[in-house]
């Protein structure tokens, strides 16, 4: 048992002093420590300063990733399109959706794709919640493993906001945080296949990671069709540039010789 008189093997006065010091930490300092790491949300800052987190991998490869599924109304359309294109991808899934749709989740892996963790729900992380982040991230990783028999490797927080608590929760669950280098802004009502392709193409380089969405759960209703329609053109552009397209597991994230993206779509 641990109490104010004895904590982590320390004697009473020292433990009490430690507790008192912790109590004096200003709430603003706690909030800053929680949210400041989320500056990695800025794509160019992330790519230059944190290439592994940005998902920069082999120069001749582009990682294709999807967030927010699985969703029986949308995800099967992406699986069919990817089959036609002979491309495999990484799906960052929500734990509660995996629990709700286990057959679809297994089907994704049976068709050669990999599942990664996007959290348990698509919650916003503005306030510190270290215990909740840890429990929910571990729970999501476990449900993916229990459902598919495969242990996920990757973690991407909802909205791409990697707070200190969510970073620690991912590492505790044995997951590597990965964000992206190019996205399609495919979550808006105004998105079209052409706009998605143009937005991705503006930042796409060999060695980059693309973010799209295979569900409109946290987006404008029906917007997933824009991402789906953009897929053939995006894959063709990558191949024309001489880049392979595939999942993060084949991307070589963090390999020293491949950190610098090359070329442009």
pLDDT digits (tens, 9 = 90+) for 174-229: 999 999 999 999 999 999 999 999 999 999 999 999 999 999 988 999 999 999 99
| CA-based nearest residue to 225, from 264, 262, 193 | 193
Choice among 53-57, 70-74, 208-212, 234-238 with the minimum mean pLDDT = 53-57
Rg, the chain, Cα only: 20
pLDDT (tens digit, 9 = 90+) per residue, 17-62? 343 333 444 444 444 444 445 555 556 656 666 688 989 999 999 9
Q: Is the dihedral of CA 188, 119, 201, 48 positive or negative?
A: positive
Look over the chain and give the mean of its residue pLDDT values, rounded to a whole number: 83
145 is known as an active-site residue: no
- Per the annotation, the verdict on 83 as an active-site residue is no
- Which is catalytic among the residues 67, 133, 186, 216? 67
Q: What is the pLDDT of residue 50?
A: 67
- The model's confidence at residue 8, banded by pLDDT at 50, 70 and 90, is very low
Strands (E), 140-227: 154-155, 176-177, 182-183, 209-213
Catalytic annotation, pick one of 61, 118, 122, 213: 213
- Given CA atoms 5, 10, 14, 19 in this order, what sign does their dihedral have? negative
């Amino acid at each position: 048992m641990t109490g104010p008189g004895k904590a982590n093997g320390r004697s009473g006065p020292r433990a009490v002093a430690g507790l008192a010091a912790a109590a004096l930490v200003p709430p603003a300092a706690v909030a800053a420590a929680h949210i400041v790491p989320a500056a990695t949300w800025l794509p160019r800052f992330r790519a230059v300063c944190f290439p592994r987190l940005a998902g920069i991998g082999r120069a001749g490869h582009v990682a294709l990733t999807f967030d927010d599924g699985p969703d029986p109304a949308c995800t099967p359309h992406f699986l069919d399109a990817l089959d036609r294109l002979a491309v495999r991808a990484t799906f960052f899934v929500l734990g509660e959706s995996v629990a709700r749709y286990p057959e679809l989740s297994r089907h994704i892996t049976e068709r050669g794709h990999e599942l990664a963790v996007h959290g348990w729900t698509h919650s916003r992380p503005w306030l510190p919640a270290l215990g909740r982040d840890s429990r929910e991230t571990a729970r999501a990783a476990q449900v993916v493993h229990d459902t598919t028999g495969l242990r996920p490797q990757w973690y991407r927080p909802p909205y791409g906001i990697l707070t200190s608590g969510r970073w620690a929760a991912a590492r505790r669950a044995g997951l590597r945080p990965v964000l992206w280098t190019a996205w399609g802004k495919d979550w808006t009502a105004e998105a079209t296949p052409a706009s998605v392709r143009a937005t991705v193409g503006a930042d796409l380089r060999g060695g980059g990671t693309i973010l799209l969405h295979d569900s409109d759960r946290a987006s404008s209703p029906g917007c997933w069709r824009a991402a789906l329609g953009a897929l053939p053109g995006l894959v063709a552009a990558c191949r024309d540039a001489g880049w392979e397209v595939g999942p993060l597991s084949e991307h070589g994230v963090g390999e020293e010789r491949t950190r610098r993206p090359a070329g442009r779509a």
